[in-house]
Chains A and B, each alone.
Chain A
Amino acid sequence: MDSADETVRSQIQRFMEHQFLVEFSDVGADANLFELGCLDSFGYVQLIAFLKNELQVPIVDSDMLDHMLVTLNEVVAYAQRGYRGPG
């Protein structure tokens, strides 16, 4: 994992821990945040907006249509595929 990847992970983790009042040291990076009651539709829209606006991750409509990013690892993996570096 290079330092850019690490930066993305830590930024996403920090955002999610603050925004959804979750601690990944407790629940793990593969915990389904919807099932845990951390994420709702509003939070999910906030999360995608954060990826798009703060990390400049291109959000591809077709990626979103039939599945969701529900774990920290899924969010990070999605972001790392399209990460363009800090704006």
Chain B
Amino acid sequence: MCGVAGFLRESVPVDAERTLSRMLNAIAHRGPDGCRTVVDRQVAFGACRLAIVDPAGGAQPMRDPSGRYLLAFNGEAYNHRALRSELSAQGCTFRGDGDTEVVLHAWARWGPACLPRLNGPFALALWDALDQRLFLARDRFGKRPLFWTPQRGGLLFASEIKGLLPALAQRPSFDPEALATIFGTWTPLPGQSCFKDVRQVPPGTYLEWGTGGAELRRYATLDLSPSSDPSPEDLPQRIREQLERAVALRLDADVEVGVYLSGGIDSSAIASIASRLSPGIQTFSVEFTDAIYDESAPQRAAVSHLGTRHSALTISDRDLVDAFPAAVFHAEVPSFRTAFVPMYLLSRHARAHGVYAVLTGEGADEVFFGYSIFRDTILRAVWADLGLEERRERLGRLYPELAHFGAAHSSQLMGLFQQYSVERLPGLLSHEMRLQNGRFATRLLASEADPAAGLLAYIAERPDFWRLDAPRRAQWLEFETLLAGYLLSTQGDRMSLAHGVENRCPFLDPEVVALGRAIDLERGDERDTEKATVRAAFADSLPPAILGRRKHPYRAPGVAAFQRHRPEYLEIVLSEAELSRVDVLDARFAGRLARKVLSSPIEQISTQEEQAFCLLLSTVLLHRFFVRGMEAAV
């Protein structure tokens, strides 16, 4: 794991080395084991490294023996041993044992066609000195970040936006259209950042820069179409087998690997395999002093059953509000919730326990339909065919965690679902309610950009999306938006790498993801989305406290924590003068929202208000750190 940064120009300036060092310093937290730079006539490449595989021999940027290719690689190719064997059989010789050298040879042999063959999270920059072409590429799910911006007839790139800043002629400014998308859909679209002219290489895509400028080419698409292989009877066993293989691949490291344990079925399943393959493995979890959010009981049940060396980090409201600005600085994007902040603190905790990489359950809810949005979509898709009583009964069990979805309000909510059982935004039946709620947050913005416009344009160009039924479109959207744009990034890579810890996600192994296609949703019953097959796969390995537990969304204290502790920095959203500095905001509405949210009884604050408040606070903090250039206390 590491961070990469660099630039391409017609000719690199005399101070290239110095500029590149400053870019790497800005992302040095990603690779605390040292930085290295290579400056050529046209390109400057740098990498700061967290040495996990082949610590002694994997120094980079790395050149191939011919001198034609130069590679800076951030991530892991878990299948590097298999690829090495294949390349060796074709005559390649290797100097070390690491995966970076394998990727370099794979590129020299197969060019960009090597990308779909890599199993693992990565972002890479490759310079082909012979053809004078630069390639930037990211893994298919967007586990590792890679930002770029055009500059002086070339481009800059870095693993994080803060790595670009030392080489920018001026400080970045917010992009109002991107903010509308982020506020409306909770995440940037693949390829977007919240800043003007700062872009991401989209997941599953590579950018090729030649004489004609930049061209983006997709090398992997999500295949989520239904499949009858394996059969429903064989599916649990196949899930078990493929996860065992995926966990084993991700335990292969020269440093200590741990597991994050949430108390749900997914991370417990990962921990059960990991603890068998690696006895005595360390597990980590977050406990909250606020009992509403605390999941320590099932976490402890899992630990007791599996016998791992466990360490829980207890997080108070004060811990959360104190760490919020630093976590936002690392996230580099406005966030609609606070749940990423505990992950920032947990990675520091894991690193202090000597762990450099952690396995997590991320991806399971997307692959095996674990989220409530899938249940919700199935119900609304069949709504017109149901009688009144069946509607009432099925609606009643949809959101047990939400009090206002209780029986007392069922008639009103049936009226609501009636409205949303008809698709109004083409293709977006599943996400229309979320987008509608997101419109509340977009009222914070001075511009009137349509928050749905970006997403509608994005799906319009994706034939793979339109071939799917409603619940699988919801699945596709979750992969493309919330997973890549928040869970793997804001809550994942950024919080872990802030403290030099790498996340590894066995459920996002391509062979595991492919098994999600065999989940049978044909009968239109939302209960088919509750991961019964995953539970069945681990029925003999996990305790009843985990197997019988209904999905519990991971959440962290939000507005209540800010109300109780009132950190000094809240002044930035309460003062109209401060808010007026952020020209993309409607300062008057923003002030009204902040005052209402911070002064109302917590039970009277809606989810959309809470989300809008988090988006507002994180936006104003990002403005201070990135637009105004004020130092973040990290």
Q: Is B453 an interface residue (CB 8 A)?
A: no
Pick the contact of B411 from A38, A41, A46, A64 — CB < 8 Å? Answer: A64
Contact A40:B608 (CB < 8 A) given known A21-B593, A35-B436:
yes
Check if B563 is an interface residue, CB within 8 A of chain A: no
The distance in angstroms between the C-alpha atoms of A73 and B7, with both chains bound, is: 59
A83 within 8 A of B: no
Chain B neighbourhood of A38, CB < 8 A: 440, 443
Residues in B whose Cβ lies below 8 Å from that of A66: 414-415, 418
From 37 to 80 in chain A, residues with beta carbon under 8 angstroms from any chain B beta carbon are 37-38, 40-46, 48, 59, 61-62, 64-68
A36 touches B439 (CB 8 A): yes
Set A42, A61, A67: member contacting B608, Cβ < 8 A: A42
Chain A residue numbers with a CB within 8 Å of B436 are 34-35, 37, 40
Complex Cα gap A68–B443 (Å): 22
Do B412 and A37 touch across chains, with their CB atoms under 8 A apart? Answer: no
Q: List 15 A-B contacts (CB under 8 A).
A: A19-B604, A21-B589, A21-B596, A35-B436, A37-B436, A40-B436, A40-B440, A40-B608, A41-B404, A43-B608, A44-B416, A46-B606, A64-B411, A65-B411, A65-B418
- Which A residues lie at the B interface, using CB under 8 A? 18-19, 21, 34-38, 40-46, 48, 59, 61-62, 64-68
In this complex, the member of B414, B419, B589, B606 whose beta carbon has the largest number of chain A beta carbons within 10 angstroms is B606
Q: Identify the closest chain B residue to A43 (Cβ).
A: B606
Is B412 a contact partner of A44 (Cβ separation < 8 A)? yes
Q: Is the interface of B mostly helix, strand, loop or mixed?
A: helix
B residues near A (Cβ < 8 Å) are 388, 404-405, 409, 411-416, 418-419, 433, 436-443, 589, 592-593, 596, 604, 606-608
**Which of B413, B418, B608 is in CB contact (< 8 Å) with A45?**
B413
* Contact yes or no, A68 B419, CB < 8 A: yes
B-chain residues with CB within 8 Å of residue A45 when the two chains form the complex: 404, 409, 412-413
Q: Which residues of B contact A18 (CB under 8 A)?
A: 596
* Contact in complex: B404, A42 (CB < 8 Å): yes
Inter-chain contact B608/A65, CB cutoff 8 Å: no
Which residues of B sit under 8 angstroms from A46, Cβ to Cβ?
404, 604, 606
A62 to B596 CA separation, bound complex (whole angstroms): 34
Given contacts A41-B416, A65-B388, A66-B415, contact A48 B443 (CB under 8 A): no
A37 B443 Cβ-Cβ under 8 A:
yes
Q: Which of B438, B440, B442, B593 neighbours the largest number of chain A CB atoms within 10 Å of its CB?
A: B440
Nearest chain B CB to A39's CB is how many angstroms away? 8
Q: Are A21 and B592 in contact (CB under 8 A)?
A: yes
Which of A35, A42, A65 interacts with B414 by CB under 8 Å? Answer: A65
A32 to B: closest C-beta gap in Å: 10
Q: Tell me how far the C-beta of B391 lies from the nearest C-beta in chain A, rounded to whole angstroms.
A: 8
Partner of A37, one of B411, B418, B440, B593: B440
CB B505 to nearest CB in A, in angstroms, measures 31
Q: Which residues of A contact B440 (CB under 8 A)?
A: 37-38, 40
